[in-house]
Structure 1
């Protein structure tokens, strides 16, 4: 609680006239633990306001906006290449509440949106090592979380106890964080003032679970994604694209047996290729 009081006192000058700030990180992810060349990079945003923050991938926001416009115009003829170019390896949204330190994690498993709330405990060890990263004077800290050991560099120049993903709780903003195996890293690229935090469209219901039950659902999906989707809804393929296509026209034919088979195979391969989850346990 002491850190939260420091945040409310010292962050106030930072936010005066600048109620929401977007911190843009470059995320580097080794998606396949067996392939050293499988490193993918993309941008992720941390939108910070005085009482909360939201972390998400930039591609996810663009996909949400694209699908939202399709619903508004009733035009669902998606360009598959366009949607594939907006694929993200950070398929979740994390909302952090600074008041009670809780975090709301939201992610789509198959076609449905799931969420859980937690208050993660980070046992940081602040080290004496310092280094200048860009314009910021940073100090090193380390901890173990999610089956990985993480090294972080934070700056008290920005007295916000937050960072990418679920990470936070240090006496300043996390400028860089990476796991010691080199599988994940987040590097602050820029910050800018924005009018309001990003908002994602809620389509359908969100299934609220405990983290334990969420992990059970997620594990079942990864073990057999096709069976999981068939058991939860009519499988149409396309990574969430087929659902709006069905909504757009009542007389449209469903996918052919070969198309369905191809869609199922793409889904299986996408799960197999992303086997290096950020939380191992």
Structure 2
């Protein structure tokens, strides 16, 4: 009987450690430098396990689910374009923190491929004596300069995680709130709950590992010539590629005569440039 109890206890402990904790943040952004009254708000998840954490958009999970059902049905189930448009996100990236190696990885799609780099700038926090209460948590103030912005964070030691949204981490507790001094970006913890495991993200195209400085060059190149990133060349950048195909190539026109490659290029360039204008105030300005 004692042996059965020990086995059952071990199984329960294993299940607890197999779980992850999800922290839901409300992200408030002013991505358009020319129109600070255009405020975007959406939710993002910070999923934390013993080994790692991942920060990503809630809308990405919803979009992935719809796309996955469409692909699995072989096209028998079509997605609602208006619904997909409503799930567009200003958080088109994910941030993964490897707890064992103390490394942070940023990933974002440019065209058909996913680009990934290791963050090479440390977060140097100044912990202040000021405390207050946010919701149910007693929090303490900390400040840092990162990505060309001055950030103020409030962390709590009530939760045993030295983590936070986006690339923020390294304080003696979980970051409950962090915002920049200009009021352009704010991350506010709304709620948290346990999940069985990290969700699987749809991976189309390749994952290309680059240095951060090279990623910034590729990002600029994509904004100037997005069509080149929809072809096999992926913008012409030779780096480590992981995974198989599955990317989306530029169409060569259609049988109904609805578009030729020139029209497609023009429409795509106009859309990317318009998006670039609307996102002229990025979270990192340096």
Which category of TM-score, normalised to the shorter sequence, fits these structures? 0.7 to 0.9
Measured against aligned partners, the alpha-carbon deviations of 1:203-249 in whole angstroms (never above 9, x if no partner) come to: 22211111111111012122443565569469xxxxxxx93997xxx
Where in structure 2 are the equivalents of 1:135-154 lying within 5 Å?
135-154=136-155
CA distance in 1, matches of 2:270, 2:24: 34
Residue in 1 that maps onto 2:156: 155
C-alpha distance 211-233 of structure 1, shift in aligned 2 (>3 A): closer
Give the one of 277, 280, 284 matched to 1:279: 284
CA distance in 1, matches of 2:257, 2:144: 50
How far apart are residue 159 of structure 1 and its match? 2.0
CA distance in 2, matches of 1:244, 1:48: 35
The structure with the largest alpha-carbon Rg is: 2
Residue in 2 that maps onto 1:188: 189
Q: For structure 1, list consecutive stretches of 5 or more residues without a partner in the other structure.
A: 1-12, 235-241
Residue in 1 that maps onto 2:10: none
C-alpha distance 226-38 of structure 1, shift in aligned 2 (>3 A): farther
1:90 equivalent to 2:91? Answer: yes
Measured against aligned partners, the alpha-carbon deviations of 1:125-167 in whole angstroms (never above 9, x if no partner) come to: 0111111000000000001000000000000001211000010
Residue in 2 that maps onto 1:10: none
C-alpha distance 111-178 of structure 1, shift in aligned 2 (>3 A): same
CA distance in 1, matches of 2:104, 2:206: 19
Secondary structure at the counterpart of residue 222 of structure 1: helix
Residue in 1 that maps onto 2:118: 117
Greater shift, 137-146 or 104-113, is seen at: 104-113
* Aligned 8 A contact 2:24 2:46 in 1: yes
How far apart are residue 272 of structure 1 and its match? 1.4
Where in structure 2 are the equivalents of 1:1-281 lying within 5 Å?
16=16, 19-75=19-75, 77-226=78-227, 229=230, 232=233, 243=248, 255-257=258-260, 260=264, 261-281=266-286
TM score, norm. by length of structure 2 = 0.82
CA distance in 1, matches of 2:57, 2:249: 22
Measured against aligned partners, the alpha-carbon deviations of 1:12-31 in whole angstroms (never above 9, x if no partner) come to: x9x95673110000000101
RMSD over aligned Cα atoms = 2.8
TM score, norm. by length of structure 1 = 0.83
* Aligned 8 A contact 2:156 2:175 in 1: yes
Q: For structure 2, list consecutive stretches of 5 or more residues without a partner in the other structure.
A: 1-12, 236-246
How far apart are residue 201 of structure 1 and its match? 1.9
How far apart are residue 85 of structure 1 and its match? 0.7
Secondary structure at the counterpart of residue 36 of structure 1: coil
Show structure 1 runs of 4+ deviating over 6 A. Answer: none
Secondary structure at the counterpart of residue 137 of structure 1: strand
CA distance in 1, matches of 2:271, 2:226: 11
